[in-house]
């Protein structure tokens, strides 16, 4: 199974007053906080789901939560090995050049003024071979790999085609979509992202509720930044 993890980093930061994605928090640019968590997620997920083919139903009595998850996947006929591919969509040379040094593919958005849907479509068109696609934005510097991993675990262990993070009933990023929703995502226009598809298919959406609301906080204004 292949999961595309698409990081959207092409926003214009109009309300921030400067390119917020390059604003340093704890000594590194804001976007890099999210990218590091995605990279950590990739390693954890690929490691967790790399060798479950030898697990039998007898292991269900084991207290190892990973074994239980893998048995659930086996029953749901999900391929043993999971590959996560990170792609970054941006309009900024500084971000593109830095990301490429990490060996992570970068795609340019030549028309960021067309809204977030333009970045969604660029990333998805490059990932049509993936079984599912996960979207993150780049202005959530307090998002953790633990939350992203749990979201993926939830998605893989449910029969629903969408999963997203929520805190106190407020949905946010990241979110993950089964390939059956690719056409709808590709039909988005303007400044409309995956939430439009989610709201249309709430009956097919699994919510992963978290307690740390700050993880879902996206930075729009300079004044909203505080020391972690």
Q: What is the pLDDT along the chain (228 residues), one digit of tens a residue?
A: 899 999 999 876 555 555 778 888 889 998 999 999 999 999 999 988 775 544 434 444 445 555 455 445 544 545 458 999 999 999 999 999 999 999 999 999 999 999 999 999 999 999 999 999 999 998 888 999 999 999 999 999 999 999 999 988 889 899 999 999 999 999 999 989 999 999 999 999 999 999 876 677 765 433 344 433
Q: Do the domain assignments include residue 227?
A: no
What pLDDT is stored for residue 74 in this prediction?
42
Cα three-residue angle 216-217-219, rounded to 5 degrees: 140
Note whether residue 228 is domain-resident. no
Q: What is the pLDDT at residue 40? A: 96
**Sheet harboring 170-178: ordered strands across?**
106-108, 83-90, 2-9, 132-137, 170-178, 162-167, 205-209
- As a three-state string, the secondary structure of 53-68 is CCCCHHHHHCCCHHHH
Residue 18 CA: distances (Å) to CA of 96, 111, 143, 174, 225: 18, 18, 22, 24, 14
CATH number, domain containing residue 170 = 3.90.550.10
CA distances from 182 to 55, 123, 177 (A): 32, 11, 8
Q: What is the pLDDT of residue 69?
A: 53
**pTM score of the predicted model:** 0.83
Residue 11 lies in a domain: yes
Is 187 within the bounds of a domain?
yes
The answer to the question of residue 223 being in a domain is no
Yes or no: say if 21 and 138 are a contact pair by the CB < 8 Å rule.
yes
Evaluate whether residue 225 is within a structural domain: no
For residue 71 the two structure tokens come to 């048995």
Residues 132 and 155 sit within 8 Å (Cβ to Cβ): yes
Burial (CB count within 10 angstroms: exposed 0-12, middle 13-18, buried 19+), residue 156:
buried
**C-alpha–C-alpha distance, residues 172 and 13, integer Å:** 19
Residue 4 near residue 67 (C-beta atoms within 8 A): no
Neighbouring-strand partners of residue 132: 3, 178
**Residues spanned by the domain of 161:** 2-218
Judge whether 224 lies within some domain. no
pLDDT for 163 equals: 97
The structural domain count of the chain equals: 1
Do 21 and 92 contact (CB within 8 A), yes or no? yes
In a domain, 92, yes or no: yes
């Amino acid at each position: 199974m292949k999961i595309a993890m698409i990081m959207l980093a092409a926003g214009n930061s109009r309300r921030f007053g400067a390119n917020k994605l390059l604003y340093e928090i704890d000594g590194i640019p804001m976007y890099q906080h999210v990218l590091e968590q995605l990279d950590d997620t990739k390693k954890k997920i690929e490691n967790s789901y790399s060798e479950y083919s030898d697990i039998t139903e007898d292991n269900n009595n084991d207290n190892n939560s990973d074994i239980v998850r893998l048995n659930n996947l086996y029953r749901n006929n999900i391929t043993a090995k999971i590959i996560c591919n990170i792609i970054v969509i941006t309009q900024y040379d500084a971000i593109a050049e830095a990301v490429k040094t990490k060996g992570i593919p970068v795609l340019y958005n030549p028309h960021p003024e067309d809204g977030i849907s333009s970045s969604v479509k660029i990333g998805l068109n490059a990932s049509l071979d993936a079984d599912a696609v996960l979207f993150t934005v780049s202005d959530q510097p307090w998002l953790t790999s633990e939350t992203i991993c749990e979201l993926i675990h939830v998605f893989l262990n449910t029969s629903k085609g969408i999963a997203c993070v929520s805190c106190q009933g407020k949905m946010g990023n990241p979110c993950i979509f089964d390939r059956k929703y690719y056409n709808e995502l590709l039909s988005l226009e303007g400044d409309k992202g995956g939430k439009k598809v989610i709201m249309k298919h709430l009956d097919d959406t699994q919510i992963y509720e978290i307690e740390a609301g700050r993880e879902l906080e996206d930075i729009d204004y300079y004044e909203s930044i505080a020391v972690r």
